[in-house]
Amino acid sequence: MITNITVVGGTHGNETSGIQLVRNWQRFGVPAAYQALNIDCYLSNQAAIDANVRFLEEDLNRQFTPALLNKQPQSQEARLAHALNQHWGPKGSSEIDLMIDIHNTTSAMGATLIILEADEFHTQLARYVKQQMPEANILVEDEKPYAEHGYLCTLGQRGIMIEVGAQPQGVLRADVYELTHKMALAILDFVLLYNSNSVPALPPCDVFRFIENITFPLDEQGERLAMIHPALQDSDFKPLTQGDPVFTTFSGQVEQWQGDTIYPHFINEAAYHKLHVAFATATKAQL
């Protein structure tokens, strides 16, 4: 049974769809159709929300690995992570059955459901969301065990993320908000079906399984030598094959993809600027 659900916004303080959804549900109540569920709505990084920034010192959504939670916190976000672990956890022993953390991206990823495990529950969830939202993408990040991820949602016994874009940082777009709201309701609808053993038999759906991050070319001083090629920009979850253009160098050259066919996402994500991440890669599979 999935009884206790926590819906989180504001893990990144300038990703406004989740912030607004949580505020709306706090003000007007969670829709009555879900009264059988114990749903808590929570804004996780109020200081970053107030400043309209992703974070103040460190990314809160990377602070929840077992190693970091057992380490003396130094930054404001690390201290907040320890406090949230006490409030909701400790990690691995939480009474939260499902944590839904809502995010935005500046990349053209549309409505994306991110799952961290491919067990029966998450497989059924992915298939149901895809049935209800054919336009949605399912991203599977199970390259490491669930507990080893540093994501805030892993404080729950189960944790998933909603990621919707493209939306500029600090801006609320109605179309992006509506996709966020639609996916949140689809997840809650699934939980009701799951709890009553009424999930319909659904066929496998296409998913994208994370591989690795690709960084921009850099010089010896760590300065970028290139930018995303126009043919790749806004082509999230579309196939990138050998010979396709990836980067346009500032000297006027075109760098091409040299590997196997992959599916890029988080293309030119603004939040990853400091990390020089150009995009993430994935394979396409069925779940």
**Is 45:103 a contact under the CB 8 Å cutoff?**
no
Confirm or deny that 149 is annotated as ligand binding. no
How far is the C-alpha of 211 from the C-alpha of 217, rounded, in Å? Answer: 19
Q: What tokens does 178 get? A: 């509506």
Per the annotation, the verdict on 163 as an active-site residue is yes
Q: What's the rounded Cα separation, in Å, for the pair 244 and 254?
A: 10
Q: Is 122 annotated as a binding residue?
A: no
* Active-site option among 95, 117, 135, 163: 163
Is the Cα torsion angle 67, 69, 70, 75 positive or negative in sign?
positive
Q: Where are the beta strands (DSSP E) in the chain?
A: 4-9, 38-43, 98-104, 110-115, 137-140, 159-165, 206-215, 226-228, 245-249, 254-256, 277-286
Q: Are 94 and 157 in contact (CB under 8 A)?
A: yes
Known binding positions: 12, 15, 103
Known binding positions for Zn(2+): 12, 15, 103
Residues assigned a catalytic role: 163
